[in-house]
Structure 1
Amino acid sequence: MQEESGFDVGSRLRQLRLANGLSQRELAKRAGVTNSTISLIEQNSVSPSVSSLKKILDALPVSISTFFAGDEPGGAQMFYRAEELTEIGDGHLSFRLVAARRPERQLSIIHERYPPGADTGEEMLEHDGEEGGVIVSGEIEITVNGESRVLGAGDGYYFESRLPHRFRNLGKEECVIVSANTPPGFSDGGHEVHHA
């Protein structure tokens, strides 16, 4: 999951694990993943899915935005070029977070890309807060609390995030969504969850 910006997921995970005084085995146990999963991620041999990385970071606990922001201090930047958005996706799903390094951010705004066949997973997601978004292009099936809808360009959604939810692109075109959630799921250490 080393992005074009050169972000080293493996080294960053190892740095945080050691800073928390955890062995690979202990972190794996806390996160509910195998020892080999932690080892392979730290060696950059595999790219973890967003949900897998989230489970591991929750066990530290460290937010996804803190993970990708590294130790760089945030600032009061107000405008962001496309290349300045922080990629927090898994290499298949793309989630580009606006203002990831902004301290005490109260909102997560995410530019999402779901290629055909993309799915946030059979395990429904649930977390505190609210989320909403607008489909920019393509179509996405969203299931919330057992109710499913296929939404297309211009359609929107808004729901309480504690309701079980899942996003799937069943179409043949990429789906692009601009979404927001609060509290900022990708910034509260140990509590960040969006739909991935």
Structure 2
Amino acid sequence: MLDELPEWLRADPSQGLAREIRAARKARGWTLSDLSAAVKLDKGYLSKVERGLKAPSVSTLLNLARALDVPVAQLFGAEVDESAIHVSRGETRRAPADRADGYRLEALTTGKGRSGLEGFLVYPPPVFSDEFRAEHDGEELLFVVGGEVEVRFADRVVALREGDALQFPGRLQHQVRRTTNVACVLITVTRS
């Protein structure tokens, strides 16, 4: 059962410090060279710290936290960077918007986070359109919240029922249509 979990769920908890240091560095838009210059430590050593191969000393952790402008507790995962959490309240979201191509969309996220992750609910039309095919950067994940849908790619159609999920590169041309009276699909897109 444990082997069926994704790697990030099976990871050793001691890797958390390494992940937090790397995340704080990337949040600043810094390269390892930038961090190396700021804390006056070897780039190779910092790379090993970020991969969990070396454990930094207390003074190194203090220097890293100062340079990255984060509390030391954040590096240990005991405190969360406020800008890392984004809440979208249902009562303040706009109602689903009808589009000319027959899709109704309800944005769940703003896409303004550092990850470039966007999420929305889609209420697809009952037919595929010859005039519209989505394609974009990043990965796409579809999860059927209710009803049944079909996803059409260039060479195949994939049927999905409530509870089914489908992941694929966004660069593939694709369309979604409902095959029941009502259908709702949660779609998330990562853009990096």
Q: Mark the structure with the bigger radius of gyration.
A: 2
Normalized per residue, which structure has more helix?
2
